[in-house]
A and B are shown apart, each in its own frame.
Chain A
Amino acid sequence: MWIRGVVRDPRTIQIAAQTTFLVLETVWLDFGPSLPQAATFIVTALAMECAHARIVRVSINWKSALSAALSLSLLLRTAAPLLWIAAAMLAIGSKYSIRYTGKHLFNPSAFAIVALLLSTDQVWVAPGQWGTTIWLTALATTFGGLVLTRVARLDLAATFLATYFGLLLFRAWYLGDPLTIPLHQIQSGGLLIFSMFMITDPRSTPDSRTGRMLFAAAIAVLAHAFLFRWQVREGVFYALLLVSCCTPIIDRVWPGPRFAWPGTSGG
């Protein structure tokens, strides 16, 4: 019975997918996360989650914390162990402190990444490390698609990727570049992981479909500007956070049913 519940919960599949990528990254890629780093993210995030549950007397939402820790492991790089702890604390801390109408405003791991990028020069993200290996793309699409279909956020990922690819195609057309350039740019494994696991967080994205599509398109436009106009390599994370600030307005203009993970009341 318990197992059936776990399998039915889309977060289980998401965590399985993130874990698969983490293993691939650790084993297969150079400059991936170290095991102590990933373990620190996970332990700190779970500890923060437990502390919160104890203080406000609610059940422990361990899947959410684990998923945030895995996202951090996949995307954030730093050699300073104190910053591993800080990253996980910022992620879970933001989830419970920056909220509106019972919903957290920012994707926890994106918030931690941006907060650290802005406050220290000791962290970086490695968007190119995944390469454009086709099988990885397929794997990400399969896993991600599965997760998103089950939580009704495929619209978000599809809108983001379609808008972003459209912008890449437009840029190539404007510059007179061959098609191989936008195709290479869209095939980034890092971008796909970002779009499948980060911007699609159902708890921090707009409630209505119209709102979500607008949200995703705005992130794509802003991310494109960050990357190509301002040459900011971590542009996708900044774009996500900036657009997330508008989620309350989007929800007010285009209201929709609030999402809740199966068996939880929030978080």
Chain B
Amino acid sequence: MRPVLRLLSCTVAASLAFSQTAGAFCGFYVASGDTPLINKASRVVLAYDGSTTRVTMASDVHGDPKQFGLVIPVPTVIKKEQVKILNPALVQHLADYTKPRLVQYFDSDPCAPVYPMTMAIPMPAPTAAAPMGGALRKSTVRIEEQYSVGEYDIVVLTATKPADLVTYLNSNGYKVPNGATETVGSYLRQGMHFFLAKVNMARMKENTTGFLRPIQVAYESPKFMLPIRLGMVNADGPQDMIVLALTKKGRVETVNYPTVKVPTGQNIPMYVESRFGQFYDAVFDKQVERSGASTFLEYAWNMGACDPCSAPPMDNVELKALGAIWIEDGGSQQSFVTRLHVRYDNAHFPEDLVLHETADQQSFQARYVMQRPFAGPATCPAGETYKRTLPARFAKEAETLAALTGWVPEIIRTEMKATGQSIP
């Protein structure tokens, strides 16, 4: 008997429009005015070679750059040469390269098999933006470094009394929420320093990208972690963070929260193509509901390859700029990327994210499949058999979609019918 379905190799395409509309660094943004703050998502690239961490913080916050400031605890005093400003396109490229993807396959004519068609669905491009700076006031606050890089005025400081530091921040235009004093105190007692960045509006005019550019900070410290606690102080609900880790050896995971793989490989109805972002948001919501205080793995792969690629591969110059400085020219397989997605709030994530690098090189990607049925006429018995199997297949896809997203089965079926996937 002839196989009813023939999978064609075909490919790629990803279109993802996360509903995250605003982003922040893993510290927290503070407003200099009374503008309501939106601090719900952030994107962080961590390049870690075993001793040095290069953390690049990119943000999607839209609005007046004057309104934003960045406050982030760092393990060492950061000097000017340890800070770099990157082109937002670099972080965007890595984010696109690792994002959940929708792939499509075409059934062949079971009567006269033909071969692949490739189709790429264009991806929407998000944007970037955000921070600000400070002055001095007599207290236990000690300014350790003060300099400007790119459009940012940066201050690195410490204090013996956390309340002084909070007062300093408030009197320098950073509106720090009341609850922050204890958290600030905890970081200070752990020997951490505070890295503050504000936008210098005069130099902002020289920045031709139109966005606030990502800041990269390099430090040598055994602390391989992401401070999220400050970010939760002024949050009005759970926040999303995408951690993009570049390492030498293998996958990165959290040691104080479980790392869970998001569902992958499922066949879903074709109509999802036009709302893939919405679909993935629903999948992610469901996962958070199910696994709670976990970090979610969306991508783990050696940077030397991808299959399918959701964006053009990154070259060594880009990877080095993002902090993977160990890469030697000519070698593309010397770094491994891990994309972790975490939705955190005070109730579920009392601690900062503590990370470690494993030796796990196993590839993983959040990948969903659209199997396009053969639309032509059935001109042979195998073709008729094939057509008869389709409704059951569509029903299975509807079931999968409902289970993944929690969407209402009746609505799914109606939508499917509109795209030619009728289920009797």
Q: Do A and B assemble together?
A: yes
Asked if residues A184 and B362 are in contact (CB atoms below 8 Å), the reply is no
Asked if residues B259 and A174 are in contact (CB atoms below 8 Å), the reply is no
Residue from A30, A123, A132 in contact with B359 in the complex, judged by beta carbons closer than 8 Å? A123
Residue from A30, A127, A230 in contact with B260 in the complex, judged by beta carbons closer than 8 Å? A30
Tell me the minimal C-beta distance from A80 to chain B in angstroms: 8
Tell me the minimal C-beta distance from A171 to chain B in angstroms: 9
Asked if residues B223 and A122 are in contact (CB atoms below 8 Å), the reply is no
Q: Is B26 an interface residue (CB 8 A)?
A: no
How long is the Cα–Cα vector from A233 to B222 in the complex, in angstroms? Answer: 10
Tell me the minimal C-beta distance from B292 to chain A in angstroms: 8
Tell me the minimal C-beta distance from A101 to chain B in angstroms: 37
Q: Is A256 an interface residue (CB 8 A)?
A: no
Asked if residues A175 and B190 are in contact (CB atoms below 8 Å), the reply is yes
User: Which of B224, B354, B358, B362 has the largest count of A CB atoms less than 10 A from its CB?
Assistant: B358
How long is the Cα–Cα vector from A233 to B131 in the complex, in angstroms? Answer: 33
Asked if residues A128 and B224 are in contact (CB atoms below 8 Å), the reply is no
Asked if residues B359 and A126 are in contact (CB atoms below 8 Å), the reply is no
**A177-B186, A184-B350 as given contacts; A231 in contact with B258, CB under 8 Å:** no
Residue from A29, A123, A128, A177 in contact with B254 in the complex, judged by beta carbons closer than 8 Å? A128
How long is the Cα–Cα vector from A79 to B189 in the complex, in angstroms? Answer: 39
Asked if residues A184 and B256 are in contact (CB atoms below 8 Å), the reply is yes
Tell me the minimal C-beta distance from B338 to chain A in angstroms: 12
Q: Contact string, A111-135, partner B, CB cutoff 8 A, digits 1/0?
A: 0000000000111101111111000
Q: List, in ascending order, chain A residues with CB within 8 A of B253's CB.
A: 31, 126, 128-129
Q: Is B24 an interface residue (CB 8 A)?
A: no
Asked if residues A128 and B258 are in contact (CB atoms below 8 Å), the reply is yes
How long is the Cα–Cα vector from A127 to B354 in the complex, in angstroms? Answer: 11
Asked if residues B255 and A77 are in contact (CB atoms below 8 Å), the reply is no
Q: Is A176 an interface residue (CB 8 A)?
A: yes
How long is the Cα–Cα vector from A149 to B68 in the complex, in angstroms? Answer: 58
Q: Is B294 an interface residue (CB 8 A)?
A: yes
Asked if residues A121 and B249 are in contact (CB atoms below 8 Å), the reply is yes
Closest to A174 in B: B189
Q: Is B293 an interface residue (CB 8 A)?
A: yes
Residue from B190, B258, B358 in contact with A124 in the complex, judged by beta carbons closer than 8 Å? B358
**CB within 8 Å of A: which B79-136 residues:** none
Q: List, in ascending order, chain B residues with CB within 8 A of A181's CB.
A: 350-351
Q: List, in ascending order, chain A residues with CB within 8 A of B283's CB.
A: none
Q: List, in ascending order, chain A residues with CB within 8 A of B354's CB.
A: 128, 233
Q: Is B6 an interface residue (CB 8 A)?
A: no
Asked if residues A121 and B359 are in contact (CB atoms below 8 Å), the reply is yes
Asked if residues A176 and B360 are in contact (CB atoms below 8 Å), the reply is no
Q: Is A178 an interface residue (CB 8 A)?
A: yes
Asked if residues A176 and B224 are in contact (CB atoms below 8 Å), the reply is no
A31-B360, A77-B359, A176-B162 given; name 5 further pairs at CB < 8 Å.
A30-B260, A128-B257, A128-B354, A129-B259, A185-B256
Sample of 25 A–B contacts (CB below 8 Å): A30-B258, A30-B261, A30-B297, A31-B253, A31-B259, A31-B360, A78-B359, A79-B360, A79-B362, A124-B360, A127-B255, A128-B253, A128-B258, A130-B258, A131-B258, A132-B293, A175-B185, A175-B189, A176-B182, A176-B185, A177-B186, A183-B350, A184-B351, A185-B351, A233-B356
| Chain B residues within 8 Å of A, Cβ to Cβ | 162, 182, 185-186, 189-190, 222-224, 249, 253-261, 293-294, 297, 350-351, 354, 356-362
| Chain A residues within 8 Å of B, Cβ to Cβ | 29-31, 77-79, 121-124, 126-132, 174-178, 180-181, 183-185, 188, 230-233
